[in-house]
Amino acid sequence: MNEPGDSGNATDLNRDIHWVEEDIFRLHGHLLEKSLHDLFDSRASTLTRAEILEWMQLPRDQSNAFSYLVCCRLFGLDPEDIRDRVLKHYRQSCTH
């Protein structure tokens, strides 16, 4: 049930959300960490793992605010090095 004066509209909720730079930074970190975790989680669906692999391999020209490249760079990580290591480990774990 809606509170008095609350229309329940999603745009009304957006007015109450105040993002600060630290929140966005943490969100990038969580996205990167969760994606890498889910890639190796046997409970994750094949589709989920495929989407993560695709996300990690998007070309630089298709990069956006929450791309793998941006997430890595915000934390001072070399995206190519991390990707190469992760893909090598992923291939090994999938073949054994």
The one-letter code for the residue type at 47 is L
The confidence band for 1, taking pLDDT boundaries of 50, 70 and 90, is very low
Euclidean distance between CA atoms 8 and 12, whole angstroms: 7
Q: What percent of the chain has pLDDT above 90?
A: 72
Name the residue ranges covered by the structural domains of the chain: 17-95
pTM across the whole model: 0.77
**Rounded Cα distance, 91 and 96, in Å:** 9
Write out pLDDT tens, residues 19-42.
899 999 999 999 999 999 999 999
Contact 25, 75 (CB under 8 A): no
